[in-house]
Structure 1
């Protein structure tokens, strides 16, 4: 199931994420998570992006959503009010908003677990203050939806946790992680996501972000990276190659499994042929349907 977080009000002058038109049929796009899925296992990509098989979120994932929502609300406050005590107070309202939009989550976090769940979320929010002082700056935007189309037609789409712009125009892209700083493979995956956002911003704003920053709230560590334009151009070619491979698989339905050590945590292991399962029938590559406007010929007198 997906988790929807209603966007809290923002003060005048701050950009907020815009919700896509629910009535529109969007063309397939590449996001950081779906690109990572295909690299990890093409069949996993199919289950998530083509079959769109629902996956029950874990408590850790839901807790991360609550923390992100609380931090978004924090930056909607005046600077002087962004103190740790106030940030912790924002956790429970964030959870209530999420629960209102996704009532099924009440089964995941029952009444007996609610107190501990919120305590852990508050601890992560408190951990943010080991890394930054939010009373000293105003972000340009929080939870911003970004999108661009590459020259070869690949559509890139994603959500950026936070964008900061300095008085001199320097751009910083910030992403919150509610876990601990990762080992090498996890770090590479996280940087893949940040380079994705940096490329989209370079193409939409015409400047290379000066800094990509991952804030790990679980252990109070930060990973900072400075991308270069040539590097992002090469990364663009990498994304185009991934998308071509996805389209080739989409045309034939040949999304092959790639067994590995992450399979034990996969929601789709029971339907994976690598483990004796049977995938559902391939529904075909999703093609956006054009809206048909009804029209009536008006008679003239």
Structure 2
């Protein structure tokens, strides 16, 4: 069902040109503003984990799988697609190739194959044709907030109803982590709402490690409330970028943060604040999970 897109009000929150909100970077700012700065403004390098590289390869295989005719998307197809997907990933991301050596690749490939086998127990890719895969979306909220994101897959039903699908190679979140998963789904739903004027009929997170599916059915009123939350977040981001005041927020996730040695909460010293000089400072080209 098509819904009217509301007219953006005057006076959107301001920020430097090139900034936008994406699910990943918005989650970073919510978790720790200093982590956001290191990733989005300083663009400091991070060493990918084996799990992250594995996720990127799984996504690459699934993208190529849906380029095949439906009848050819059988389980045996992924084995043929995996070597080329790995070559693509390590060419585009040399740090991934440095992490997985040629000698280690057979064991790594078995891990990827196991996750893809789980995918086939959750969906039959021969039964439908997606509208798009790995789609980059850019939208503007009703408050004038620029939004960006990559959607793994969009399915369209005969009646025009849309389903947004995102693959996760980890396990389904526990109760304490569901909020973050729903944040990502609402973000995608809002972008679809603002770019097409349609509230998606369903949003789906497919967790391959434990073969679970999390679904969410949004409505326009809920998305508009979420949109106001993003506007408040955007104002906070814009003010931090203007002033350079990105304060650390400590917690259990600090133990897994590559930037901990630079964090003043742990005795580190951040690099001099550069301000925002690059138009791509909020690109969302993240290694997939």
Q: What is the TM-score when the length of structure 2 is the normalising length?
A: 0.89
Distance 2:104 2:279 in 1: 42
> Could you tell me which residue of structure 2 aligns to residue 136 of structure 1?
127
Computed over aligned residues only, the root mean square deviation of the Cα atoms, in angstroms, reads 1.5
SS in 2 for 1:90: helix
Question: How has the CA–CA distance of structure 1 residues 153 and 130 changed in structure 2, closer, same or farther, with 3 Å as cutoff?
Answer: same
Once the two structures are TM-superposed, the CA of residue 130 in structure 1 deviates from its matched residue by: 1.1
Give 1:1-301 correspondences, 5 Å limit.
27-286=18-277, 288=279
Shift of 1:286: 3.8
Alpha-carbon deviation of 1:287? Answer: 6.4
Write the deviation string for residues 25-52 of structure 1: whole angstroms up to 9, x where unpaired.
x711110000000000010001101111
CA contact (8 A) 2:241 2:275 kept: yes
The answer on whether the counterparts of 1:28 and 1:286 sit within 8 Å (CA) in structure 2 is no
Largest Rg, 1 or 2: 1
Alignment partner, residue 10 of structure 2: none
Secondary structure of the structure 2 residue equivalent to 1:112: coil
Give yes or no for contact 1:74–1:90 (8 Å, CA) kept in 2.
yes
Counterpart-to-counterpart distance in 2, 1:242 and 1:141? 29
Deviates more, 1:248-257 or 1:96-105: 96-105
Q: Which runs of 5+ in 1 are unaligned?
A: 1-25, 290-301
Deviation at 1:280, TM superposition (A): 0.7
Partner of 1:30: helix, strand, or coil?
Answer: coil
What do the CA deviations read for 1:164-222 (whole angstroms, capped 9, x no partner)?
00001111000000011111232211111111010000011111001010000111110
**TM-score of the superposition, structure 1-length normalised?**
0.85
Unaligned runs of 5+ in 2: 1-16, 281-289
CA apart distance, 1:102: 2.6
CA contact (8 A) 2:142 2:227 kept: no
d(CA) in 2 for partners of 1:111, 1:223? 35
User: What is the alpha-carbon distance in structure 2 between the residues aligned to residue 275 and residue 89 of structure 1?
Assistant: 47
SS of the residue aligned with 2:104? Answer: helix
Q: How many residues align?
A: 265
Q: 1:256 to 1:61 in 2, by over 3 A?
A: same
1:270–1:277 contact (8 Å) kept in structure 2: yes
| C-alpha deviation, 1:106, in angstroms | 2.4
Counterpart Cα distance in 2 of 1:115 and 1:288? 40
Given that 1:55 and 1:267 are in contact with CA atoms closer than 8 Å, whether structure 2 keeps it comes out as yes
User: Does the CA-based 8 Å contact 2:47-2:95 persist in structure 1?
Assistant: no
Worse-superposed segment, 212-221 or 99-108: 99-108
